Structure 1
Amino acid sequence: GKKFSRNGKNGNDPTKPIPVYTKLAYILGLRVSPSHRRMGIGLKLVRRMEEWFRENGAEYSYIATENDNQASVKLFTNKCGYSKFRAPSILVQPVFAHRVRITKRVTIIKLTPSDAESLYRRRFSTTEFFPRDIDSVLNNKLNLGTFVAVPHGTYLTESWPGSERFLANPPESWAVLSVWNCKDVFKLEVRGASRVRKGFAKTTRLVDRAVPWLNLPSVPEVFRPFGIHFLYGLGGEGPLAVKFVKALCGLAHNLAKECGCGVVATEVSTSEPLRLGIPYWKRLSCAEDLWCIKRLGEYYSDGSVGDWTKSSPGPSIFVDPREF
């Protein structure tokens, strides 16, 4: 969340928002065996988890579910007192057999974890769901790096001035994103496909490998366990920011190809202006994931500033990759 300074402690600009943090609990992967559904087990599990959340100081609890999963939505909104909160989009791009070409009009620089932390805290700390321990995220072994795209010729890796000086005098357009390696944590698999579909997918890969210069889209091997790279911390400014995000997504695609992943995924707000630069396949993506939230306590970690569940959505969200 964010609030505005009233005591002049926020530098020389008292109208500049400063971050407000709250302790947030996340219910992930709630499943009940089909043979034991409609017995109140899911409700008991949620209530017990909420007790544990309160005991550990959580002030809010939230869950993510498919918007069309009526059983899950009814459980949380009708029986557990949750409110529909945000409806972000999960965008998924397959990893092709060929490398994606990246425009030469953009220079991409990899930041150190400390430099990335500085950039994120200075520019994105008031974005919804921004983690207070962003340093832990960026220094995690699963984090593959934070990358900044700037106009070609603006900076070189050797001449990068650091995030603080960069943000003090940024170029007209720039973009940033980070890459998280989900492959070393879990893998997915598509089941139930017909032999025809599997054969078609294999054919697209063979053609793509044979003539990679044609840049033909191909279906990855998703009918066996495959890994994912998750893109998070997307942001940027300027009239060319969307194009710079596209270049960064191309870099992420090629990195995923080198690591043997099947897809690259990200989750963004439906009103995120930079989503236009994110390539994805509609068939693999989820247009509206549903987040529901419940208030467990009366105060925020940084003081009482109102009920977050009743706040209007901002244009962007910061998805913690540890919760994907």
Structure 2
Amino acid sequence: MGEEIGSRMVVVREFESDKDRERVEAVEKICEVGPSGKLSLFTDLMGDPICRVRHSPAFLMLVAEMGEEIVGMIRGCIKTVTCGRKLSRTGKNPHLSPKHLPVYTKVAYILGLRVSPSHRRMGIGLKLVQGMEEWFRNNGAEYSYIATENDNLASVNLFTDKCGYSKFRTPSILVNPVFAHRQRLPRKVTIIPLNPSDAEALYRRRFATTEFFPRDIDSVLNNKLTLGTFLAVPTGSHTWPGSERFLQDPPQSWAVLSVWNCKDVFTLEVRGASRVKRTLAKTTRIVDRALPWLRLPSIPNFFRPFGLHFMYGVGGEGPEAVKMVRALCGFAHNLAKERGCGVVATEVSSRDPLKLGIPHWKMLSCDQDLWCIKRLGEDYSDGSVGDWTKSPPGWSIFVDPREF
């Protein structure tokens, strides 16, 4: 579809890899992302502009073309997720305790909207969003949502003022550097790797009613980018008997998380740092190498491309669940160190009590990421929760690693 902007025609069409790859990469390289007022991050998509959505059940990438020049792009995907829960009894006996079951809906996600700096404020971003929403509706999506920085006024205004989205959730992005030394794990915590089948059973039984939980969690856990799912339990209190027996008689406290290998999808690079900050960061690395027994928190070299691991499915139960999560984060740090990553990241609800167990650096993190949502049509979810966009936030949220 084409529309005249000024004196030139802008065409929004589907991305064609052989034809568009190099021109899309050129736009990506001049579009920096990151919270304003902090160090900006440049994302390199490893030569595959659509790689960050291709692991989703349905995905699309559109480009905006002006003459022979690509001036913008947008990515989107569609999946089925939990939007609420309903009560169901475990049998016909009315005296049995009710059980919560997930309510699913088909939701679309917009990722990676980019417009060339020289072509902004011309309505190109709006045209890209409208083109993506048309594809969403044609494929049965009931809601569309996006994530943006809370202080990115241009992005927030585009979606809330011009596209009809409303502010919905404010999760926290927590980022921790991967240091030159391994993290020491507590002796009183045992970490057990789970196979995908056991991990799926655990997630579906304990977290399927969590908001945004993907119904195809098995596809996520079996994806080659998932490096594993890990369970933390008190040492000596439990051995792994299989998912069914574990769920019937779990220890008093436990925690779980999975690790997604973003390093094989894209790399990041910090730009905009002053010479003083670069020198300070280098000094911490020099001191750490000279005095390794001090185990100083040195700053990795963020000023050249680096990879990250994303922790997803963070959850747990019991009075020591925060301690268990902290141990799992240390384990994930060591895994990232072995694989040459610069940071470990996760995203959780800002209300989640387990957030206290996730180590992070404030200068690299975002306390309030902003998710905006829009209702595209009638809600046909099983056991409708009404208009999901008006529902209050819960204590936790499931962040799909395919969209990070």
When the two structures are superposed, what TM-score results if normalisation uses the length of structure 2? 0.77
Residue matched to 1:220? 300
**Is 1:114–2:197 an aligned residue pair?**
yes
Shift of 1:308: 0.6
Shift of 1:40: 1.3
Residue matched to 1:208? 288
Residue matched to 1:175? 255
Kept in 1: contact 2:253–2:320 (CA 8 A)? yes
AA aligned to 1:72 is: S
Distance in 2 between the 1:4 and 1:173 partners?
26
Match of 1:275 among 355, 380, 386: 355
Residue matched to 2:219? 136
Match of 1:199 among 279, 283, 289: 279
AA aligned to 2:402 is: R
Residue matched to 2:185? 102
**Is 1:298–2:381 an aligned residue pair?**
no
Name structure 2 gaps, 5 residues minimum: 1-82
AA aligned to 1:209 is: R
Residue matched to 1:315? 395
Distance in 2 between the 1:284 and 1:63 partners?
21
Runs of 4+ aligned structure 1 residues displaced above 6 Å come to: none
Kept in 1: contact 2:269–2:305 (CA 8 A)? yes
Shift of 1:6: 5.0
Kept in 2: contact 1:98–1:209 (CA 8 A)? no
- Which structure dedicates a bigger proportion of its chain to strand? 2
Shift of 1:303: 4.5
SS in 2 for 1:222: coil
AA aligned to 1:305 is: V
Residue matched to 1:27? 110
Distance in 1 between the 2:96 and 2:328 partners?
32
Match of 1:125 among 208, 215, 219: 208
Change (3 A) 1:13 1:99: farther
**Is 1:79–2:159 an aligned residue pair?**
no
Shift of 1:4: 2.4
Kept in 1: contact 2:310–2:346 (CA 8 A)? yes
Distance in 1 between the 2:215 and 2:208 partners?
8
SS in 2 for 1:291: strand
Kept in 1: contact 2:89–2:96 (CA 8 A)? no
Kept in 2: contact 1:100–1:215 (CA 8 A)? no
Residue matched to 1:162? 242
RMSD, matched Cα: 1.6
| Greater Cα offset, 192-201 or 76-85 | 192-201
AA aligned to 2:312 is: Y
Distance in 1 between the 2:221 and 2:194 partners?
10
Change (3 A) 1:6 1:99: closer
Residue matched to 2:20? none
SS in 2 for 1:312: coil
Residue matched to 2:79? none
Distance in 1 between the 2:237 and 2:378 partners?
48
Distance in 2 between the 1:277 and 1:193 partners?
29
SS in 2 for 1:122: helix
Instruction: State the Cα deviation string for residues 259-282 of structure 1 (Å, max 9, x = none).
Output: 000000000111000000000000
Kept in 2: contact 1:2–1:17 (CA 8 A)? no
SS in 1 for 2:257: strand
| Greater Cα offset, 246-255 or 296-305 | 296-305
Distance in 2 between the 1:13 and 1:118 partners?
23
**Is 1:5–2:94 an aligned residue pair?**
no
Change (3 A) 1:133 1:10: farther
Distance in 1 between the 2:237 and 2:243 partners?
14
Identity %, equivalent residues: 77
Distance in 2 between the 1:87 and 1:186 partners?
24
SS in 2 for 1:22: strand
Change (3 A) 1:105 1:37: same
SS in 2 for 1:314: coil
Shift of 1:206: 2.3
Kept in 2: contact 1:10–1:18 (CA 8 A)? no
Distance in 2 between the 1:200 and 1:190 partners?
15
Distance in 1 between the 2:301 and 2:247 partners?
41
Distance in 1 between the 2:250 and 2:90 partners?
25
Distance in 2 between the 1:45 and 1:312 partners?
30
Kept in 1: contact 2:103–2:384 (CA 8 A)? no
When the two structures are superposed, what TM-score results if normalisation uses the length of structure 1? 0.95
AA aligned to 1:124 is: F
SS in 2 for 1:283: coil
Instruction: State the Cα deviation string for residues 160-205 of structure 1 (Å, max 9, x = none).
Output: 1112211111111101111100000000001222333222212211
**Is 1:237–2:317 an aligned residue pair?**
yes
Shift of 1:221: 1.0
Shift of 1:9: 5.5
Match of 1:254 among 334, 353, 359: 334
